[in-house]
Chain A
């Protein structure tokens, strides 16, 4: 509080004879920007600007929601998108506010840092002439040893002390300003850590199906989605490989998940192959990347035996639809079947695909559309077969999870009869004598692999931030003065030479200061031989009047 007043109280630099208008404007704007009012306004703006980011769907949080929003509001969405509303926290307006705020912050704390360092070097100031004008005031018996003894007692209580002849000045509570500066500097550090993370960090998501044959090695191409910082080259990605060995999940009777654990084989460059467990809340920490478990599901193994008797197996993850029972949808596509044995050429009319729903616990009776429980109590896959041109050669990248519906509507793909329910081991023979068999399932997990080089710095600065905040909020700057051999201002004739006059000045709001002062005076005054010190009358009251008085005095005292 004082610090603020000190700053506003600093006399403006003497005006130059011919002020350069541009410089003057710049200087004024800078002063305006670093003022507390501006900081307040910017803080408020920041809070308001954060609201759209929670109301509107955000790409960084959930891209599908943005797509849905586009579908729901086709006119509004593009406009919103133009102003960055779907990436609110990376948008120009949001960045502008916090960059201004942080500029203001730096402009605010640098001068304060300088002042504070100066104050730390300085000894406490000389006592004012009239101690009885300070908010706290008392007389006490002079302790044996005079000023030096007083100074010793004060030092023991960790006051910073200066002795000038018969006068002792002491100050305490530098921690408040120190804490405040640490706090604000930590804020800057947090921002820098955030920036580091987004420039030099990277992340990617993918599915990993169990089994050696489905191992994944860390390259950019292996990810379904990536978010790679602008300063990251492909070669920077650490070259580890993962194999899902086992996945365990337990659920309550109502299907609520209770426990997950994934065991993976980890191969890092220059290290032995090892097994590692990880789970929700305890990620796999590798050298240069962390692997997080986000989800899980089933990948049905579907074997198709073609006209030539050749079998192929598809093991593609079926994506969960979000219900409790892990009902999943997916596609088993067989583009390279029914190849002419003589020419070895694909026959685009005879490609096969099976769209399906997988039910870990199928109901006892139809309709077979919803699984009743997330583990495989009664597994079944419900398949619809298609024959024809899958459209993969057209060069249009198709999803491996969904059939290209255009091929169906244009008649290039035809559905083969009714949908068919298959349990593990069951076989469905199609009209042309080929067959499809449901062999079983494998587990898959959804992974997020990330590297954030700013995270350590972030954590450390948050620690400092908190410590600084505590110092700033609960630290209290105050001064006390003692004058040995003073006569009471009232001119009491008795024993004036053996008295000490004391005064105390809280420099910040400090309701408990009177008590502290009384205790200090008592400690110094040899158990208060001089009777109850005047002025310390237990009036700890802190109504408006007193607070204002304190503040007024404070101002007086600092000048």
Chain B
């Protein structure tokens, strides 16, 4: 860290959660029209915990983590993010989104801004940081995800793996307490998956609270404290990785594992 860090040090040091429980979902229900996507979801994620969420497509995994920063509205039940309850209250939503980073399947980088501008945008406009300091923060995190010398390129000039790492850096620039990953490697060419997973593993080693929707079971085995298996909008099973892979409890889990682990 350089000597100017006292100005923006708060965005460079890992943020601490205020409460022990990072995420709490209680009796969460959500419908798309008549379709009951999430059914009585109960989940508690402690600070520093890494939770991998898996399940067949349409099981509601993405919807569940998208509820956690209110990209989706829930109809009943309660969601607490670091002690803040998510409701229709815009102030609470802003508060939560400032502290929760999200990485998407399709990166969702802003194509009209350079890599550096993509990353500095939120510190400048949300944290109200001077441009120069925001760019220092951006560079710091871009170095951390190993995007060397690409800072003045536009996202579409980068490979998929590089774009996803920029997306991770962009989320980190807000120094989030919790990171949500929504199938971060599903849209990548196979040879790019590893560089993104490596970045995520490093993040896990630094103690970040992470919720990851993924089918990368190797990653789950390596970093997860817990694996949550969902089917038909319900949490069917949640267990430590060794137990989850060695002794799946439910038929549905066994079937799923047999299909993806060939």
The yes or no verdict on A and B being binding partners is: no
Which A residues have a C-beta under 8 Å from some C-beta of B?
none
Which B residues have a C-beta under 8 Å from some C-beta of A?
none
